[in-house]
Chains A and B, each alone.
Chain A
Amino acid sequence: MSQSNKSISLGFTNEPFLPGVHICQIFSSDDERQELLLKFILSGLQSKERTCCFSDNTTKQAIGEFLGNYGISHNDAIESGALTLAGTRDIYFENDRFEPERMLSLLASYYNDSVTEGYPAARVIGEMATEIQHVSGGNRLMEYESKVSILLRDHPVTAVCQYDARSFDGAMIMDVLKVHPLMIVRGSVVHNPFYIRPEEFLTQ
């Protein structure tokens, strides 16, 4: 697997990126969120990348119908392990706790397994649930996001984090921006001027 040298398509923009980018999408409509999610999954499967999606708001059926339009069987993809679909709460809040270490470990394992299984690359898209603000460990979200950026340097999983501007406080949205090097503004992926390198962010 030589992911780091080969650019990939994110599906929702024509601009090529190297694997391992960490992008946030601040959305304010469900259509905006779902369109990006489906295109990201489709491009991943079309590129034979191992693809993973954590969402509580996009159903398996909707994903299946969308992929079906492009001749891809989501069931086959799931069965083969190329596609992983799971609910955000199920993954992030195991035992009603948010544990950044567990999530980082999962992400590392996901990458390593993908390498082992021969996938050319791996990607993950996750929609953050608003419960994060209330569950135990939820206050470590920015720490986690910042450490993801560190992890991706050695485990270049292409990651897109979706946040609902209608559900999170403006200050928290600003914090989210600070821990993502790339962000989506009006459909384009741009470098985030608010981004604070993890080493600096984690020391603040």
Chain B
Amino acid sequence: MLKPEILGQLLVMQSFVISLPDEKSIFSFVCRGLQDMPGVSAVRYSVSPQDQDYESTTVRIPVSLGERFLGEMLLTLDDKELFAPYLDYMNNFCYMLAVVLEERSQRLQNDQLKAELELRVQQRTNQLEAEIAERILIEESLLESESRFRSLLNTIPDLIWLKDADGVYLSCNVIFERFFGAKEADILGKTDYDFVEKELADFFREHDRKAMAANSPSSNEEWITFPDDGQRVLLYTTKTPMYDNNGALIGVLGVGRNITEIRSSQEEKSKLEAQLHQAQKMESVGRLAGGVAHDFNNMLSVILGHAELGLMRLDPANPVCADLKEIKSAAQRSADLTRQLLAFARKQTISPKVIDLNDTVANMLKMLQRLIGEDIHLTWQPSPELCQVKIDPSQLDQILANLCVNARDAIEDTGRISIETGTCTIDTDYSAANPEATPGEYVRLVVSDNGKGMDKETLTHIFEPFYTTKGVGEGTGLGLATVYGAVKQNNGFINIYSEPGKGSTFSIHLPHYAEDFLRKHAEEAAQAVPRGHETILLVEDEPAILEITSQLLEMQDYTVLRAVNPGRAMELAREHHGTIHLLMTDVIMPEMNGRDLARNILAIHPGMKRLFMSGYTADIIAHHGVLDEGVHFIQKPFSLPDMAAMVRKVLDVG
């Protein structure tokens, strides 16, 4: 007799076994559920097909799908009849159980395979993600490196480019873009022939090939013009063959450096060095000339003095007088030469005065016209501005006369010489480029001619003493040297503009003297050779000069105390009881210089006047060649009238 609740239990168990997690739990659940089946005293299950551990009353119900054995339910019966109606249900239940177990097994297997697959997918995904991350890092690193490289290329102020072996552009920087007036994207893949004229492209290509053939860098200089602003620059271009890691030729790497400024600086430096060299040479020559002039002056003084003394003592009808006159004339010309040498050497003693160039030049025009002759037209263009300078007027005479004579000689037949004045300001930039010019305000005296002009070689020598382009006997070679010395002595400088066939222009720049000055010049009345009766202490270490100078002074009725050296002079000063009105002394002497001697004797004879003589320099008594107020100087050699006038002047000064 079937009990419906038992069938219900079997159905419920069927429903629940699906929810249970594993076989153990399922069989545990089923065994407990079957315990209460009619006729069943015990229930167990076995998964072993060889399980023989059961009693005779045990019913074995397989849990299997065809040949597939999954286990068996072992039901021990205490009442077979009661159980018998349920046997078929139990068989069905166990089959169902087998289906559930197999399905579960399959599901678990699938789950396991799925889990393994998912794990492998996950592992591969992780691996790929790691590879991608690494690749991203590499790409970022490459991008950064590329960016850094690009930045480096574009920061360098040189033109940089890379061409393949056929001259096709592979890369370039922004400076190079500027050269072609195109962006890199438009340059790549093209050649020089797409951007510049064939002749220039051929030139570039030739150097490319040269570098590749030589397998070493090839350099050349070339001028290029940037099309955007027309800037023209000198490039020092180096082309280097490039190879890949396998040693195969890639092409040519080009680097073009703008050396325009460097070259300009080099040329400027060379120019300055040449100027310095010239200045040093002039200084050396000046020093040499000054030294020669000193000794030469001493000798001329003796020659002149004796010639004049002889002329005074002889009857003018005496034929020897003519000889003496020739000797005197030659000596005076020689003295003029030494004076010019000293002027060049900036050793001539000067007495600067403030003058207006416009007035001074205007007063010289007649003399200058006579100097240059009638065939040459002289024009004068004074500046409307006041052109005051402080200079010894005689130096200005030297400058203008020499410049005009040179201009005259540069003009073959007829021509034109112009003189003009003006003012200008020299700034620091100009000064930097022209070291001889110091910044400041200047008065400019310009002498121009339309003569034959000079070449560069001549221009580098024209201020050197005894350098002349004139024929033998036509020039001394001291004219422009004198001008140079005079200008330099007055802190000025000279600019020359000249080219062969285009005339010459000499611009003399003298410091502008801004102080007001009295325009009236003290006119010194011309006087006859003055005489006197005062006592003069004459000191000269050159006996011949001492002798002749003494005789000249005595001829003018002065009382002369002769001393051949400072020691003797001191003795005479101490021994002489009367007044010594004037000390007339050489400047450079072995024992003591003239200045110290004067100071010592002045202690014995206060109020004594001093007149210094020198054939060389006034530095000992003058500062930079400029005499202090109250100090008097006479340049050797001197003529009798000059000396007499100077002596009288000094004695008469209050």
Q: Which residues of A contact B (CB under 8 A)?
A: 26-28, 165-166, 169-171, 173-175, 177, 183, 185-186, 192-194
* Bound-state Cα–Cα, A194 to B30, Å: 12
Instruction: Jot down 10 A-B pairs with beta carbons below 8 A, ordered by A.
Output: A27-B19, A28-B21, A170-B24, A173-B25, A177-B12, A185-B15, A193-B11, A194-B9, A194-B12, A194-B36
* Bound-state Cα–Cα, A28 to B21, Å: 8
Is the CB–CB distance between A193 and B9 below 8 Å? yes
* Bound-state Cα–Cα, A27 to B15, Å: 12
Question: Which residues of chain A come closer than 8 Å to B8, judged between CB atoms?
Answer: 193
0/1 string, B14-26, CB within 8 A of A gives 1: 0110011100111
Q: Which residues of B contact A (CB under 8 A)?
A: 5-6, 8-9, 11-12, 15-16, 19-21, 24-33, 36
Is the CB–CB distance between A165 and B21 below 8 Å? yes
Known A165-B19, A165-B21: A170·B12 in contact at CB below 8 Å: no
Known A26-B19, A27-B19: A192·B29 in contact at CB below 8 Å: no
By CB atoms of chain B within 10 A, which of A26, A165, A170, A174 has the most?
A170
Known A28-B21, A193-B5, A194-B33: A170·B28 in contact at CB below 8 Å: yes
Question: Which residues of chain A come closer than 8 Å to B33, judged between CB atoms?
Answer: 174, 177, 194
Interface SS of chain A: helix, strand, loop or mixed?
mixed
* Bound-state Cα–Cα, A183 to B16, Å: 11
* Bound-state Cα–Cα, A171 to B20, Å: 11
* Bound-state Cα–Cα, A177 to B12, Å: 10
Known A193-B8, A193-B9: A171·B16 in contact at CB below 8 Å: no
Q: Which of B6, B11, B29, B36 is in CB contact (< 8 Å) with A170?
A: B29
Q: Which of A166, A169, A173, A175 is in CB contact (< 8 Å) with B16?
A: A173
Least CB separation from A175: chain B residue:
B32
* Bound-state Cα–Cα, A195 to B31, Å: 16
Is the CB–CB distance between A171 and B12 below 8 Å? no
* Bound-state Cα–Cα, A26 to B26, Å: 14
Query: Closest approach, in angstroms, between the C-beta of B541 and any C-beta of chain A?
Result: 128
* Bound-state Cα–Cα, A165 to B28, Å: 12
* Bound-state Cα–Cα, A177 to B25, Å: 15
* Bound-state Cα–Cα, A192 to B13, Å: 11
* Bound-state Cα–Cα, A194 to B9, Å: 6
Least CB separation from A32: chain B residue:
B19
Is the CB–CB distance between B21 and A166 below 8 Å? yes
* Bound-state Cα–Cα, A187 to B9, Å: 18
Is the CB–CB distance between B26 and A170 below 8 Å? yes
* Bound-state Cα–Cα, A175 to B30, Å: 11
Question: Which residues of chain B come closer than 8 Å to A170, judged between CB atoms?
Answer: 20, 24-30, 32
Q: Which of A165, A166, A175, A192 is in CB contact (< 8 Å) with B12?
A: A192
Least CB separation from B7: chain A residue:
A193
Is the CB–CB distance between A185 and B25 below 8 Å? no
* Bound-state Cα–Cα, A170 to B26, Å: 6
* Bound-state Cα–Cα, A165 to B13, Å: 13
Is the CB–CB distance between B24 and A185 below 8 Å? no
Is the CB–CB distance between B16 and A26 below 8 Å? yes
* Bound-state Cα–Cα, A77 to B202, Å: 98
Query: Closest approach, in angstroms, between the C-beta of B122 and any C-beta of chain A?
Result: 24
Query: Closest approach, in angstroms, between the C-beta of A32 and any C-beta of chain B?
Result: 9
Question: Which residues of chain A come closer than 8 Å to B30, judged between CB atoms?
Answer: 170
Is the CB–CB distance between A173 and B12 below 8 Å? no
Least CB separation from B25: chain A residue:
A170
Question: Which residues of chain B come closer than 8 Å to A185, judged between CB atoms?
Answer: 12, 15-16
Is the CB–CB distance between B19 and A174 below 8 Å? no
Question: Which residues of chain B come closer than 8 Å to A177, judged between CB atoms?
Answer: 12, 16, 33
Query: Closest approach, in angstroms, between the C-beta of B107 and any C-beta of chain A?
Result: 13
* Bound-state Cα–Cα, A169 to B26, Å: 9
Least CB separation from B28: chain A residue:
A170
* Bound-state Cα–Cα, A61 to B582, Å: 132
Q: Which 10 A-B pairs have the closest CB atoms?
A: A170-B29, A193-B8, A170-B28, A174-B32, A170-B25, A28-B19, A171-B32, A171-B28, A165-B19, A193-B5
Question: Which residues of chain A come closer than 8 Å to B27, judged between CB atoms?
Answer: 170
Least CB separation from A190: chain B residue:
B12
Query: Closest approach, in angstroms, between the C-beta of A177 and any C-beta of chain B?
Result: 7
* Bound-state Cα–Cα, A194 to B36, Å: 9
* Bound-state Cα–Cα, A170 to B45, Å: 13
Least CB separation from A27: chain B residue:
B19
